[in-house]
Amino acid sequence: KTIYILNGPNLNLLGKREPDIYGHETLADVERVCATVAGENGHAVRLFQSNHEGEIIDSIQRARDEAAAIVINPAAFTHTSVAILDALNTFEGPVIEVHISNIHKREAFRHHSYVSLRADGVIAGCGVEGYALAVRRICSLLG
């Protein structure tokens, strides 16, 4: 089965962007670790990143036909986007929310997540490894 790995704004700069917070690994590294874990369990991943809220919503709508599960790091849209929450609510498979940093250890405006109202699980503060943990969890849920 196919697992979508969706990434929100500024994550195209992962590895270059505030490395003290987000580390030195890139989105290509994220794709590699996710593909490895999924492959070990007989599944495949497709990674997508956009700086545009509507494109993330479009990709969630595509997932309805093309993916069995979603791992999503909505980045700053986590804290603002009812539209991404609504899109995820149209998706029937498992959804795991990932944050590279521990959003609860940071500014108060990062403590609330709209997406958590839909997510089956949330991983925060585990770095890029959090994506691999999320894919592992999706694999157990998919069986």
In this structure, the number of other CB atoms found within 10 A of the CB of residue 17 comes to: 12
Specify whether 131 is catalytic. Answer: no
Q: Interface with ligand DQA by CB under 6 A: which range of 35-43, 48-56, 97-105, 115-123?
A: 97-105
Q: Pick out residues in 112-131 that bind ligand DQA (CB under 6 A).
A: none
Minimum distance from residue 65 beta carbon to ligand DQA (Å): 26
Specify whether 52 is catalytic. Answer: no
How much is the CA Rg of the chain, to the nearest whole Å?
A: 14
Q: How far is CA 47 from CA 110, 113, 131, in A?
A: 24, 22, 11
Q: Interface with ligand DQA by CB under 6 A: which range of 31-39, 50-58, 64-72, 100-108?
A: 100-108
Catalytic residue among 22, 43, 114, 131: 22
Q: Contact 83/53 with Cβ under 8 angstroms?
A: yes
Instruction: By CB under 6 A, name the one of 46, 50, 56, 99 that touches ligand DQA.
Output: 99
Residue 75 contacts ligand DQA per CB under 6 A: yes
Q: How far is CA 142 from CA 2, 48, 93, 139, in A?
A: 10, 21, 9, 5
Q: Number of residues interacting with ligand DQA: please give it, by CB under 6 A.
A: 10
Closest CA relative to residue 50, chosen from 17, 7, 82: 7
Instruction: By CB under 6 A, name the one of 49, 50, 73, 81 that touches ligand DQA.
Output: 73
Minimum distance from residue 120 beta carbon to ligand DQA (Å): 18
Helix (H) / strand (E) element for 140: namely helix 129-142
Sites of contact with ligand DQA (CB under 6 A): 10, 73, 75-76, 78, 99-101, 103, 110
